[in-house]
A = this chain, B = another copy of it.
């Protein structure tokens, strides 16, 4: 169980064991900037769970308001935790132990608040409506200065998190820039890069 693992400190003194990732399937934009609910994809479940586990995170929330989608995600989780998959690939089980299915962002926040007794620092990824962004180094300083406070990193599916989510967040992290004008990283890649920047090195 993640809770029984010894807290692991990254080289720079941050505690990823108080950090969670949430993948939101609502509210997100579609390609025409309409607010929609996207469907859960199997690989989003596995990839982000494995990446979160590699970097020592506390939890990975898959947020989707549709009951059928929640049930599907929960079925996949249980397949790897208790079903045939648990024996076939125990390493996958370790990753999916981090997974929790939630109907809304508020439920993920409540869960994390309940675990740590404090409201999490809400961090979105991408440029905020008002243009203010925080660098990874600045976020590391903020986290090191509040070592007891949990932190929730929000990622969006589809064409990204809505302005409503950006307004609600405490911090908007600097976008990942590549080497040109193409800026369409898969969300799975974005999670990996942000976690590596935050916790992968000293």
List chain A positions with a Cβ less than 8 A from chain B.
5, 8-10, 16, 31, 43, 46-47, 50-51, 53-56, 89, 91-92, 94-95, 176-180, 182-186, 188-193, 196-197, 199-200
Contact = CB atoms under 8 A, between A and B. Distances in A.
B56 A178 contact: yes
A94 B181 CA distance: 11
A118 B116 CA distance: 56
Contact of A200 (B50, B53, B55, B176): B176
Given A5-B180, A54-B182, 4 more contacts: A9-B179, A51-B185, A55-B178, A94-B182
**Those 10 A-B pairs whose CB atoms lie nearest each other, nearest first:** A56-B179, A54-B178, A189-B192, A47-B186, A193-B196, A8-B179, A192-B192, A8-B180, A55-B178, A56-B180
Nearest to A46: B186
A50 B179 contact: no
A186 B190 CA distance: 13
A197 B199 contact: no
Contacts of A53: 178, 182, 184
Contacts of A182: 53-54, 56, 91, 94-95
A87 to B, nearest CB: 12
A189 B51 contact: yes
